[in-house]
Chains A and B, each alone.
Chain A
Amino acid sequence: MTAISGSAAFKTDEAYTPEGKYLFRNSPEGVRRLPFPFPDDDYMYSMNLEPHVPAGDGALRAAFDIDEHYVSECAHRAQMLSDMPGVHYLALPHMLEAQWDLLELIFESYARDFPEHFTLTKNGNEWRWQNRLLGIDDSFTFGDPATLPMDPMEYATRQAQGEFVVLEEKDNTLVIGAGMTTQRADYSLKFNLGMSFFEFHGPVPKLHEMGILDRALKFLLRMKAGHPVRRVNWSLTVNPRLETSVETLPEWAPDRTTVTSENAGEKVYLRIELQPLHRLPRSNAIVFPVRTYLVSLAELVEYAPDWAKRIHRALGSLDSELVDYKGFHRYHAAAVEWLSRHDDGAPLASGYPWAPDGIQPNAH
């Protein structure tokens, strides 16, 4: 039994933009399957890398998770790419081999983990790709870009949920060589392209001092193909807006002033990032996917009350530098106050929800 039972569960009329009136909602099951990122009442950065092996029957069951928002998220990506060409998808010229690597990884994973929706048929280098959710049935020659209507990476990631940043290994560091980032949190792909690991982490406070970056880079450079690792990260976003890039900051930053302790439940969304990293076999590049999940604080209270209590405590005790960095100092207090009404102070389990004895959406 898969986490999604048939295409009837896929929503096609959702919108992640003000023009579309933010028509976005999670089902109760959609909330309870989330990779909830707070294992403890106190939150601080850590590498929190673990082997990316299937866990539970939620978002960590598949190598690359899809959920009820798959169809609408792909439509949103297509819209963003057409609205701002050259801003959300970029690839340096020498990244073609890594692009094919990534196409293969995504398509093989989807076909293996969701055979009811995707089929990949290989006859040597002649491949047929069927995506029944988007009504795609294409044949192409693996390795020959002329047989696809666009770059292999763009082709594959237009049909995938989440962002994909491809890092090439160069001079003992990792350099951003390509990205499909229509839902990036507060950075510019155009600006960051070509940056090394330490450079693109430059704006993140504390990491350097804590020595986390050195350790993380060493770990990543030792990664082997076929042994992916994952971590989760999070932020807050006002409204269910996926596209929050630096480029469009003037459009979405004013939303931060609209949050009050009365409307925070509906306005404030937890933005969960699931990051399953893979070494790519031919190019030796590393793909850094950021699978983003949005869930409102009110949805957490309604469908996952223990997670709502946990996030209340984690946000309430959050380091002020992190509040600033994550960009919610203006509404942090309002969100915490709203959440406080739904926290009875009962002790909560420790550990991620997919770990043995980890925190579950609700106690019973």
Chain B
Amino acid sequence: MLITGIKSRPVYDELTPMASGLNHLAAAQGSGGKPLVRLLGAMTPEQLAATTVLYSTESFTAQNYLFDLQQFRVRELAVFATNADAVRGLDASLATAKMGTRLYLSGSEGFIGTSMQVATSYGMNRDEVLREHAGSFVRRVWCAHCGHYSENVTHRVFVCPGCELNLIVRDHYSGRLAAFQGVKADSEVPGEMPENEELDT
């Protein structure tokens, strides 16, 4: 079973204003505030007035761009304490969004992935969404054996909090589950563990 070198990891964009948009939603988390500041700086006053910003201050690396984001004259700036709250806020915003809405996402892979799940559920197309990765590459991992999702995984091998098996993280990514795949690390010979390593965080 191939562990590394799998080519399913998402390829990210760079956030720039989408001229075709009539209405802009920009959601970010932690370090993702930095690309958002750059995005807002590139917008016209009209675009800013049609932009709602959602920002989660939860950060794996303690990065906070709230002060910088507050300097822009946007339609609305909503602040959330956790990434999960911000994703729920995005869901609520998309529920009332009109045609011509463009979505911008930045932050950790887990945040972008779970936000994309919401966007996909509203039928947004890939050309209506830009995604920029920021900060550490901590991973969200789905356990293939018990279905548990682990957030912010930093090492190749870890113990699943759901079923307590030793899991190895494969470089295989599911957009639908917004997670990498974890499988039993010592599946052939229990106790015979592969070498652990820090992931490319």
Contacts and interface: CB of A to CB of B under 8 A. Distances in A.
Interface of A: 171, 186, 188, 190-195, 198-205, 208, 246-247, 249-250, 253-254, 256-257, 324-325, 327, 330
A192 B173 CA distance: 9
Contacts of B184: 249-250, 253
Contacts of B173: 199
Nearest to B147: A190
Interface of B: 1-2, 5-8, 126, 142, 144-145, 165, 170, 172-177, 181, 183-184, 187-190
A249 B189 CA distance: 12
Contact of B189 (A190, A257, A327): A257
B175 A246 contact: no
Contacts of B8: 195, 198-200, 202-203
A195 B187 contact: no
A330 B176 contact: no
Given A198-B7, A205-B2, A325-B1, A249 B187 contact: yes
Contact of B174 (A171, A195, A204, A247): A195
22 contacts: A186-B1, A188-B181, A191-B142, A191-B144, A191-B172, A191-B174, A191-B177, A193-B174, A195-B8, A195-B175, A195-B176, A198-B8, A200-B8, A203-B172, A205-B2, A246-B183, A249-B184, A250-B145, A250-B184, A253-B187, A254-B190, A257-B189
A330 B177 CA distance: 32
A203 B2 contact: yes
A357 B189 CA distance: 45
A205 B1 CA distance: 10
B175 A254 contact: no
Nearest to A193: B176
A247 B188 contact: no
Nearest to A186: B1
A188 B144 contact: yes
Contacts of B189: 254, 257
